[in-house]
Amino acid sequence: MDYMKKSVKDVDVKGKKVLLRCDFNVPQDADGNITDDKRIREALPTLRYLLDEGAAVIVCSHLGRPKGERKMKYTLTPVAKHLSELLGREVSMSFDITGPDALRLCSEIKPGQVVMLENLRFDPGEEKCDSEFSKKLSSFADIYVNDAFGAAHRAHASIVGVAEYLPAVSGLLIEKELRVMGGAMENPEHPFIAIMGGAKVSDKLGLIGSFIGKCDAILIVGGMAYTFFKAMGGSIGSSICDDKSLELVKDLMAHAEEKGTKIYLPLDTVVSDTFSNDGNFETVEAGHVPGTFMGMDIGPKTVEKYGEIIKSAKTIVWNGPAGVFEMPNFSRGTEGIARAVAESEAVSIIGGGDSAAAIEKLGLENKVTHVSTGGGAAIEFLEGLELPGIACLLDK
């Protein structure tokens, strides 16, 4: 029951200094312009709540992988500028993280004001979860609020270290992640189906395993399907295959049968003679991929069959695309799945990563119950693993 955690609404923040950990790891172009501000916008409800309640907010985040060095291409300055525009109030940018500039800004901050610390990963103490760095960081505030679900599976200083020195609660974004995903895994309405995609079975073995016995059906899509077909003696041509997982796949299939969870595999496959949008492509029966061809997408019969199963579901969890959806000729499978999920009456959870990108690209994010903000964190949470950044928060 990792999701019964105190949120920012369970503590009094009036007149307090709050250290707010966000996930502002946003994509930027060569000139440092932010190309997608979704993660910044997602932090706004928690930020506005804190400011409305009379808190002084000290925002911190990582950006990129500077590996403990001050590399200015990873500075948070453009994020602070963009955040002030979105909030309609000044966000003071600190030159350092725990140095004299941060100390000055954080000691002078008043309720209703916002300070942003420089990129946490400029200090090697962040990723090492160094106690000295954690202590300095926490000395700026009275309360710690974590709203960076995408980083909750990392035991870093700003995620777990500071929770040893400050009362730690979740922000509104994490609160929603825990409520929706925790509720779905703890007490799902049936039929409960999982749609599992992505390239490698080994990356999702734990997740598929955790759905067996809980789900009524698991629909396999994407690159991992070819590992299933090969394990069952099918021909997959030059398709991607996780050869190390062939025996594990057989065990999974047997375990699913024993537990009464039906595993569905694609009926047809769109294949191409080259890994590009310009290759010769055709649709063949799944498990019968010609020698030099590779599987690139699920075919129309699979989309139709899976669509019927999705339509009857009451709870859906989807993680991983159905094909190489970045290439227009092989995007139809993922699109078909996305539309079926969006049109269903079910509680639908999109588990971050590429499936979230597909839903957003199609403009369907408002037609599903929840799009998770955490890729790896979402997978680990759905698997039932303990996330360090959630475990350290105060229980309700």
Could you give the CA distance from residue 343 to residue 2 in angstroms, rounded to a whole number? 30
Does 393 map to a domain?
no
pLDDT at 289: 95
CA–CA distances in Å: residue 334 to residues 9, 152, 263: 38, 28, 18
Q: How many domains does the chain have?
A: 2
Work out the angle at residue 310's Cα, subtended by the Cα atoms of residues 309 and 316, and round it to the nearest 5 degrees.
130
127 and 201, same domain (yes or no)? no
39 is catalytic: yes
140 and 230, same domain (yes or no)? no
State which H helix or E strand residue 92 sits in: strand 91-93
198 and 347, same domain (yes or no)? yes
259 and 232, same domain (yes or no)? yes
Residue after which a domain boundary falls, among 175, 208, 226: 175
102 and 207, same domain (yes or no)? no
pLDDT < 50 positions in the chain: 1
127 and 214, same domain (yes or no)? no
Residue after which a domain boundary falls, among 175, 202, 223: 175
32 and 155, same domain (yes or no)? yes
Residues 6+ apart with CB under 8 A from 160: 129, 388, 389, 391, 392
Residue after which a domain boundary falls, among 121, 152, 175: 175
Catalytic: which of 68, 99, 183, 376? 376
pLDDT at 3: 66
Owning domain of residue 277 = 188-382
CA 100 to chain CA centroid, Å, is: 35
- Name which of 334, 391, 396, 345 is nearest 367 in CA terms: 345
211 and 114, same domain (yes or no)? no
In tens, the pLDDT along 35-62 reads: 989 899 999 999 999 999 999 999 999 9
Does 196 map to a domain?
yes
Number of neighbours of residue 36 by Cβ within 10 angstroms? 12
200 is catalytic: yes
Does 40 map to a domain?
yes
pLDDT at 92: 98
Helices of type H across 232-295? 246-259
352 is catalytic: no
pLDDT at 200: 74
pLDDT at 144: 98
pLDDT at 1: 46
292 and 269, same domain (yes or no)? yes
291 and 338, same domain (yes or no)? yes
Cβ burial of 373 (10 Å; 0-12, 13-18, 19+) is buried
Strands 91-93 and 56-60: unpaired
Does 394 map to a domain?
no
Catalytic: which of 200, 301, 339, 361? 200
Does 220 map to a domain?
yes
Q: What is the CATH number of the domain that holds 166?
A: 3.40.50.1260
Could you give the CA distance from residue 169 to residue 150 in angstroms, rounded to a whole number? 16
Catalytic: which of 17, 39, 204, 332? 39
pLDDT at 352: 66
79 and 57, same domain (yes or no)? yes
Does 199 map to a domain?
yes
Catalytic: which of 222, 351, 353, 375? 353
Does 181 map to a domain?
no
194 and 171, same domain (yes or no)? no
**Per the structure block, which two tokens stand in for 313?**
């579901």
Does 388 map to a domain?
no
